[in-house]
Amino acid sequence: MKTLVTIFLGVLLWPGPALAETPAECRIAENQIDASFPLLEVTKALAKKRLDILVVGAGSSILPGANGAAQAYPARLQNALTEKLPGVTVKVTTDVKAGRPADVMAVAIKPALAAAKPALMIWQTGTVDAVRSVDPDIFNTSLSSGIGNARAAGADSILMNMQYSPRTESMIALGIYIENMRWVALQHEALLFDRFTIMKLWAELGTFDFYAVTKKLDTAERVHDCIARLLADLIVEAAKPGGQLPLDIR
Amino acid sequence: MKETPRISSAVVAERDLRLDLFRGVALWLIFLDHIPSNAVSWITIRNYGFSDATEIFVFISGFTAAFVYGKAMSERGFVVAAARVWKRAWQIYVAHIFLFAIYLAEIAYIAQSFDNPLYGEEMGILDFLKQPDVTILQALLLKFKPVNMDVLPLYIVLLAWFPPILWLLLRSASLALVASGGLYALMWWFGWNFSSYPSGSWVFNPYAWQLLFVFGAWCALGGAQRLGRWLTSPVVIGFAAVYLLFAFGIALTWHIPRFGIYVPKLVSELIYPIDKINLDVLRIAHFLALAVITMHFVPRNWPALKSRIFWPAIVCGQHSLETFCFGVFLSFAAHFVFTEVSNRIFMQILVSALGIAFMVGAAALLAWYKNIERKGSGQRPPFVQADLAGGGS
C-alpha cells in the first residue's frame, strides 16, 4: 500500500515535459511577461529558420569572471531559444560594456546593428543613467533614437529595464527611469521586459535572496538563467504568426 | 480654508486645524513612500491618482508661510519679515546638511558590507565616496542630493524667493499669482531648471513647484475667500469627482499593465509622461480636485478636528520641519532594518507603524518644549509666538 501511494504521489508530482523546460523558480514570474506588441521581424525570421539577435547592454548583461559572458543571460538566451525553436538557427551577438548610459549606447547601436543584421535587438539599459541621475529627457531621446535605428535596420526591439537591487534601493532613484522606459516602449510599440518587477517578485516570494552578501556566482547564474528563459518565452510568444491582439495572447 | 481671516485684520483668528491635520498626514505618507520596498506604501495616495503627498506639503507650506510671515510683513515691515523668512531658510539648510551626514554614514557602511556579483553596475553609486572633496562640496551647494532628499532644497529655494513675492502678494495678490503662473509657463517653454551634480537637474524643479507654493500663499491671503463660491458649487465638486475617478482609472493601469489596452492611444499620448519634476498640469489639477472634495467633506469647524483621534497627525503637522527631517532619517533606518534584520511583510508593517509612532512622539516632545518655553517667557512679543506656532515650516 505504502509503495502504491508513493508511486501515485510520484506520478502526481512528476513534472510533465512542458513544465520541465522552465524551472519552477522562474515560472513564478511568468505572468509578468507582457507580449502586448507582435515581433513582426522575428516572425519573418522564424519563417526563414534563422533568428539573429543583438543584445546591447551595460554591466548587468554580463557576469564577472573569465567565464562571465558565457554564464550571462545573452548566451543562455541563445541556448533557451535553440531548445524552444527546433529547426531554427539562433545566433545571439552582444555589444555589452559596463558603465554605459543610454546616450552612449544609442550611438553604439548603429554600427552594432550594421554588423549583426539582427531581426531583434534587446536593449538593456537604465541603471547607469539612474546612478548618474542623467536628465530624463536625454534618457528618453536616447531610447527613442536607439529604437528608431533598430527599426530602420529592420529589427524589432525589446527594452530591458533595471535589476531589482534591494541594498542600493535607498540610494538609486530608479522610479522615474522605469516609468520613462515603460512610456517610450509604449510610444514606439516596442516590448518591455520588466526585469525590475520580475526580480522584485522573486524577492517577495523568496525565490532568490537579493540581500545576500556573497562573492559566489551560483545565485547570479541562476538569476541570469531565469531571465534568459523568460526572455525566450516572451520572444516566442510575441513572434507567433498572425499577430494576435494583446488580450488573446494570455 | 475659504473662511481664512484677512491677514491685515488686527485680530489673529484661530489657526485652521485642517492645515496641520493634512500636513501631518502628508508627512506620514512621505515617510512611508520613502522606505524602499515597503508594502505599507500601497496605502499612500500616489498609487491612486496623479498627485502625491508632496503637493499637499508644498501647498500647505505656502499657505502657512504667507499666514505667518504675511502678518509679520504687514505689522513690522519688509525687512523684519524677510529676515525671519531667511532665518527659516537657513535652519532648513542646516537640517538638510545634517541629514546628508546621516546619509553618508549609511552609504559608507553599505559600501563596506555590500558584495554581490549580480550588482556590479549598481555598485557604481558608491563611486562618489572615492572623491569626497567634490561630492561634499557639491552637497553643500545643494547640487548633489541623495535619493529622497530633494524636498528640503526645494523648500530652501522657495523661501529664499519668498520675501519679494510676499511683498507683491500683500499689495496685489492676483498680480503675484499671475506672475507665478507666468514663471511656470516660461519654465515649460524654455525648459528652465536648476542643475545637479554629477549630471541632470533638480528632481523638484523650483521654477515649477513655486506655483503651488505661491498658490497656497495666495489662498491664505484672501484668495480662498474669493474662491469660496466656486469651491462649494455642485458643478465644481462634480467635475472634481469625475477627474479623481479618471485619475484613479489611469493609475490602475500602472499596477495592472494589462488594463493599459483600455486606455485609448489618443488619451495616453495626451497625458504621458506625467511629469513630476516640472509639476505636470495633470498633477496640479489632481491636487486641486482632491482639495475641493476634501474641503467639501471636512469643514473648517468640524468638531472631530479637536478630538484626540486626529491629534497625532495635527501635532506632526504643527512641527513639520522637524517631523519631516526625522521622517527622512527614519526611512533610512527602516531600510537599514530591512537589509540587516528582516524584510518580511510583518516587519514592514511593524517598522512603518513604529516610524509613525516615533514621528508623533518627537512632535509631541517638541510641543511640550515649546509650551514650557512659552510659559517661561510670558512677556514675549506676539509675533514670536506666531513663528513658534510652526507656521513657517
Do the chains contact at B273 and A246, CB–CB below 8 Å? no
Checking A210-216 for CB contacts under 8 A at 24+ apart, the result is A210/A164, A210/A165, A210/A166, A210/A167, A210/B116, A210/B118, A211/A166, A211/A167, A211/B339, A211/B343, A212/B116, A213/B113, A213/B114, A213/B115, A213/B116, A214/B115, A214/B116, A214/B117, A215/B115, A215/B117, A216/B117
Q: Could A165 and B122 be called an inter-chain contact, meaning their C-beta atoms sit closer than 8 Å?
A: yes
Per-residue pLDDT of chain B (393 residues; tens, 9 = 90+): 444 444 444 334 567 899 999 999 999 999 999 998 888 989 999 999 999 999 999 999 999 999 999 999 999 999 999 999 999 999 999 999 999 998 888 888 877 777 888 998 888 888 878 888 898 999 999 999 888 899 999 999 999 999 999 999 999 999 999 999 999 999 999 999 999 988 889 999 999 999 999 999 999 998 888 888 888 899 999 999 999 999 999 999 888 777 777 888 888 888 888 888 999 999 999 999 999 999 899 988 888 898 899 999 999 999 999 999 999 999 999 988 988 888 888 999 999 999 999 999 999 999 999 999 888 765 554 444 333 334 443
Q: Does B276 touch chain A (CB under 8 A)?
A: yes
Which residue in A36, A135, A250 is closest to B200 by CB distance? A135
Domain ranges of chain A: 24-239
Q: Tens-of-pLDDT digits for all 250 residues of chain A?
A: 455 445 444 444 444 333 335 677 777 777 777 788 899 999 999 999 999 999 999 999 999 988 899 999 999 999 999 999 999 999 999 999 999 999 999 999 999 999 999 999 999 999 999 998 898 989 999 999 999 999 999 999 999 999 999 888 888 889 889 989 988 998 899 999 999 999 998 988 888 989 888 888 989 999 999 999 999 999 999 998 764 444 433 3
B146 lies within 8 A of chain A by CB: yes
pLDDT of residue B370: 92
Instruction: Locate the chain B residue with the closest alpha carbon to A222.
Output: B118
Question: Strand A191-193 relative to strand A89-96: parallel, antiparallel, unpaired?
Answer: unpaired
**Site from A171, A216, A217 to mutate, B interface, most B CB atoms within 10 angstroms:** A171
pLDDT recorded at residue B2: 41
Chain A residue numbers with beta carbons less than 8 Å from the beta carbon of B106 are 170
Q: Could B110 and A99 be called an inter-chain contact, meaning their C-beta atoms sit closer than 8 Å?
A: no
The span from the CA of A250 to the CA of A34, in Å, is 9
Question: Using the beta-carbon criterion (under 8 Å), do B118 and A223 form an inter-chain contact?
Answer: yes
Starting from the edge strand earliest in sequence, which strands make up the sheet with A191-193, in order?
A89-96, A50-57, A120-124, A156-160, A191-193
What fold is seen in the domain A24-239? Rossmann fold (3.40.50)
C-alpha distance from B36 to closest chain A C-alpha (Å): 6
* pLDDT tens digit sequence for A143-194: 999 999 999 999 999 999 999 998 888 888 898 899 899 889 988 999 999 9
pLDDT at res. B392 = 40
